[in-house]
Amino acid sequence: MCPIKTNVNTVPAGSRSTTRPVGSLRRGLSLLELLLATAIMSLIALGVSAMAGTVRIAGEYAHSRSQAVQHGRVASNQIEQAVAHAKCCEAFPGCLAVDTYVSGVSYPDALVVWLPEGAAADPEAPRMNEMLLFTWHPNNPQVLVRIRNRSDSRNAPHASNLAQWRQEVASLRSSNAAERIEMTTLLFAAPAGTGSDRGAVRFQVRLLPSADEWTSYQAGSLAWEDLSWAQDIYSSRTGLRQIWCHFEMQLLVEDVPGEDSHVPFFGSAAIYTLLEK
């Protein structure tokens, strides 16, 4: 019989094989690979953390913006409704913007509205307890308030007497007997010329015909037909007068933590009354 020959790879004595059996697995990662994997995981963790922070800041900003919008709408609606339901007479045209001078600068940040809680005591002569004042709080200019003093039954000054009205507004604003109702606590406040802060709210009242035109007509220097009637509506005996109130307020919004900005809110309302020749 012929012997069966087999091929056997022999390894010289004293040498070590460096070949790896086919299909064998590595038992672990090298140090370099571990360092690279750790660095990649750290970068991923930092990215997720940054994304979470961005989402949180965006959520806070959206909440702050939504809150400011809600406050602005509520405050604007209260002012508009008060003006729309105001009483009018020749001595007082329903509402009056009263300014204050600080270092020679005018700040028209107070609005007086003739809004009795029931029937007016005298349709031709408003009383102070029938007046509603919109302005900022004297102790905290970031608070917009409406003020009424029900215990003051004096006759209100004529609308043309702005000097007296400035005194009345200052007295009503600081009166301990007056009722103050907060409308918003987000009013932006900025320093005036004296360094003290004032709430950023502005009022403007426009009359058609204007008070000067009506005075000129009563003095005989302006014809009835030449008055600036609202929508040019008038007859030989009566004419339509418009009392238009425009206001602006700036409310605080937190853009990012620790940094605030302010956004403006605008509103207006008008009332109409008849003037007799």
Question: What's residue 163's pLDDT?
Answer: 95
How far apart are the C-alpha atoms of 172 and 1, rounded to whole Å?
132
Angle at 126 between CA 208 and CA 277, to 5 degrees: 40
Question: What's residue 8's pLDDT?
Answer: 47
How far apart are the C-alpha atoms of 182 and 125, rounded to whole Å?
28
- The alpha carbons of the chain give a radius of gyration, in whole angstroms, of 38
**Under 8 Å between Cβ of 109 and 137:** no
How far apart are the C-alpha atoms of 109 and 74, rounded to whole Å?
18
Q: Count the neighbouring beta carbons within 10 Å of the beta carbon of residue 6.
A: 5
Per-residue pLDDT of the chain (277 residues), as tens digits, is 445 454 545 545 555 555 555 555 556 667 777 777 788 888 888 787 777 766 666 666 666 677 888 889 999 999 999 999 999 998 899 999 999 998 888 999 999 999 999 999 999 999 999 999 999 999 999 999 999 999 999 999 999 999 999 999 999 999 999 999 999 999 999 888 776 899 999 999 999 999 999 999 999 999 999 999 999 999 999 999 999 999 999 998 866 555 568 889 999 999 999 999 8
**Under 8 Å between Cβ of 82 and 111:** no
* Locus of tokens 């064998």: 24
Question: What's residue 1's pLDDT?
Answer: 46
Burial class (CB in 10 A: 0-12, 13-18, 19+), 107: middle
Peptide bond preceding 209: is omega within 30 degrees of 0, i.e. cis?
yes
Measuring CA to CA, which residue among 193, 206, 189 is closest to residue 109?
A: 189
How far apart are the C-alpha atoms of 114 and 205, rounded to whole Å?
14
Question: What's residue 26's pLDDT?
Answer: 58
